[in-house]
């Protein structure tokens, strides 16, 4: 998360001023270990499942939009 604060001329900013970001000092993992879940998702058909879930969500969003449109339209009549 990045947060921007403007330092005021009359001193209202109370946070310390950061001039540089510290580097991540975490130990890096082997990419094969770090991204092993991607292989599992591929082997189990996880991508197709995720895409189907997105399609279902989109369908329900479209239904809600249609419902709101109908309510709006009937109020005008």
Say which residues have a Cβ less than 8 Å from residue 47's Cβ, sequence separation at least 6: 41
Closest CA to 4 of 12, 75, 17, 62: 17
Q: pTM of the predicted model, to two decimals?
A: 0.41
Whether residue 36 is predicted with pLDDT greater than 60 in this model: the reply is yes
Q: How confident is the model at residue 66 (pLDDT cuts 50, 70, 90)?
A: confident
């Amino acid at each position: 998360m990045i947060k921007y604060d403007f330092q005021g001329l009359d001193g209202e900013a109370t946070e310390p001023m950061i001039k540089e970001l510290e580097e991540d000092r975490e130990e890096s993992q082997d990419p094969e270990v770090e991204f092993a879940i991607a292989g599992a998702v591929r082997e189990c058909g996880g991508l197709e499942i995720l895409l189907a879930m997105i399609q279902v969500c989109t369908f329900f969003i479209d239904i809600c939009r249609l419902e709101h449109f109908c309510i709006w339209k009937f109020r005008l009549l």
